[in-house]
Amino acid sequence: MTASSARVPARRWQVLDGTALKLLAMALMTADHIHQMFAPAGAPLWLTILGRPVFPLFLFAAAEGFHYTRSRRRYLLRLLLASWGMTLLTTVLQQAVPEPGVVLMNNAFSTFFVTGVYIQSWDWLTAGLRARRSGLVRRPGLVLRGLLAALLPLAGMLPALAAGVLSFREDVPLAVLRGLAFLSLLLPNPLLIEGGPALAALGVLFYIFRKNRAAQVAALGALTALVWLRRPGDIQCWMAAAALPILLYNGRPGRGWKPLFYLYYPAHIAALYLAAALL
């Protein structure tokens, strides 16, 4: 499960490394979440417009990280644990300090986890199919593993679906429905991840086309076009602005600072929420 270390050659004008890309996304994300927490107090709309490119940028960085990580198992485990941590954090915050004007549904880690699972599924499936075409029989289980990995996030939808069905029955205790709903948040799945299945699919496409920057930007453009066709003028279409930093990416990881990115996300969400609730 160790990825190849070969990198796409950079051009002179590609000046952003992986760390710079993430720092840019963090700054834009902070502006977006300031709007989320303080919109009832009059935070301007342009703050959330600035945040529209954030998810594509982080998905792009996650796809790069998944390719170059030394252990995909540990990478996915970190994302899963971080996803659980965000679920617990947002649940505790909203119960301890209620703020009716803000609903915390922020858990990008769950989206990155689902994206990573499907990237691994893609790799297993393609490797298994290549092995079959070449007549190799030493790796017959790769296709099966790929299919099972693809089904794993879908299984996480079962508690949410069960809660939806049972909610129509008057004899089911409310505590059971709440327990199923909370369990569904702990099992990252395409139905409930932040950004929805379309953004997870974008992350997988970033990975598949990682050696073709034009194809990656085209995938982002295609998703933006779909959003525009469904909701003309929707501010989500500003996510297309992520194309410029992606084109400026030089393929180098930068300084890393991995703990910073894992800690800043929950820390700034908690700080902004508490400020909005208390002030």
pLDDT of 279 over the 50 cut? yes
pLDDT of 3 over the 60 cut? no
According to the per-residue pLDDT averaged within each range, which of 7-11, 34-38, 127-131 is highest?
A: 34-38
pLDDT at 160: 84
The model's pTM is 0.89
pLDDT digits (tens, 9 = 90+) for 47-69: 999 999 999 999 999 999 999 88
**How would you classify residue 215: left for phi > 0, otherwise alpha for psi between -120 and 50, otherwise beta?**
alpha
Separation between Cα atoms, residue 107 and residue 209, nearest integer Å: 26
179-194 mean pLDDT:
87
Residue matched to tokens 């209620």? 98
Q: Indicate the pLDDT class of residue 5, thresholds 50, 70 and 90.
A: very low
pLDDT of 142 over the 70 cut? yes
pLDDT at 52: 97
Q: What is the largest CA-CA distance in the chain?
A: 67
Percent of all residues in the chain with a pLDDT value above 70, rounded to a whole number: 94
pLDDT at 172: 84
How far apart, in Å, do the first and last CA atoms of the chain sit? 48
Q: Compute the C-alpha angle 99/104/106, nearest 5°.
A: 160
124-141 mean pLDDT:
75
217-234 mean pLDDT:
95
Q: Over the chain, what is the mean pLDDT?
A: 90
10-31 burial: b if 16+ Cβ within 10 Å, else e: eeeebebbbbbbbbbbbebbbb
